[in-house]
Amino acid sequence: MKRLGTWIFVMTWLAAISPAYAQEGVKENVKELLKAVVKVRAAVPDYARSARTLGTEREGSGVLIDMQGHILTIGYLILEAESVEVVGPDGKAVGAQSIAYDHITGFGVLKVDKPLEAKPMQLGQSSEVKEGDPILVATHGGEEGAMGARIVSRKEFAGYWEYLLDDAIFTAPPHANFGGAALIDHNGKLVGIGSLFTQIAIAGLGMIPGNMFVPIDYLKPILSEMITKGRSPEPPRPWLGLNAEEAHGRVFVTRVVSEGPAEKAGLKVGDILLAVNKKEISGLADFYRKVWALGKPGVEVTLTLLQGIQIQDIKVKSGDRYQYYPLKAQKKI
């Protein structure tokens, strides 16, 4: 029933909006399209800094984006991976190398050791998909991994891990296997990569479950250097090493990263962040922007916070997240 429902949606979606697909045979075209969406499996050593929060065995999806064998995925799947393999449309696993991770967007790039029997998926224009548009969410597994959804929101997203997107894509209903999933527009082009499950605020409805996708337009200016140099050409941002959540107009510290700048400076879980360099913050996104505006990693950041019943200033020497979380984990000696 799931496969039948998927094909009913896909054929309605593509044939109605793109008649060319109907003329060429919708089902066969979609089958070929979905071959570009592959399974990604990563093994991470237990000494990796991200192992505690992200685990040592990670699995999700990725998308073949060129004839050279580059796979685009969500970066947390491959961060600090010791080994990675990709399962293509024939069900066979091939080795792959982690070649890039961009902390700003969250994109990760792999390169397979052997060619895949699939045609690369073309990159679309994520700026052209609007609220209300029908969309296809696809994970590895062909039609079994695909489901119909709609764009329910385009808005700013502030993640608790010092992460911010100005124009994230939110879809519903949610796909359970969102990590690295392909977001495909009515032209059969890739417009986003799946990042997480979240609750989306919709006027008149309240909170509904959905997924957040990283828009593909963020990839285009940085892809070339990610492939050739392993990272985005964008300068790294000052990193504090904390997790934070916004609630009731306040920003709370929910975790301090072990051996990170915030922990070394004395920040604690439960601290309420009030200001950055004496400038009051109005929310999580504003907090990040005020920190990042101070300069490069290594810059000193003065945080005004409520710790217990005391308001105090704590100076934090910011770090470089690329050094703390390298693409491949480094074992301490």
Please give the Cα distance from 99 to 50 (Å, whole number): 17
Confidence at residue 27, expressed as pLDDT on a 0 to 100 scale: 63
* Strand 310-317 relative to strand 279-280, pairing: unpaired
Q: What is the secondary structure of 197-257 as a DSSP string?
A: EEEEEETTTEEEEEEEEEEGGGTTTTHHHHHHHSS-SSPPPPB--EEEEEETTEEEEEEE-
Is residue 70 scored above 80 in pLDDT? yes
Q: For the segment 213-237, what is each residue's pLDDT rounded down to a tens digit? A: 999 999 999 999 999 999 999 999 9
In this structure, whether the domain defined by 1-233 belongs to CATH 2.40.10.120 is answered with yes
Q: How far is Cα of residue 159 from the mean position of the Cα atoms in its chain?
A: 10
Is residue 281 scored above 70 in pLDDT? yes
pLDDT tier, 333 (very low <50, low <70, confident <90, very high otherwise): low
Q: Pick from 181, 119, 40, 188: which is nearest to 169 by CA? A: 181
| Boundaries of every domain in the chain | 1-233, 242-324
pLDDT tier, 26 (very low <50, low <70, confident <90, very high otherwise): low
When pLDDT is averaged across residues 80-103 and rounded to a whole number, the result is 96
What whole-number percentage of the chain has pLDDT above 90? 85
What whole-number percentage of the chain has pLDDT above 70? 91
Q: Pick from 224, 159, 177: which is nearest to 41 by CA? A: 177
Model-level pTM?
Answer: 0.90
Helix, strand, coil abundance in the chain, percent, nearest 5: 20, 40, 35
Confidence at residue 168, expressed as pLDDT on a 0 to 100 scale: 98
| Ranges 24-33, 51-60, 166-175: which has the least confidence | 24-33
Q: For the segment 138-148, what is each residue's pLDDT rounded down to a tens digit? A: 999 998 999 99
**Class at the top of the CATH hierarchy for domain 242-324:** mainly beta
Q: pLDDT averaged over the chain?
A: 91
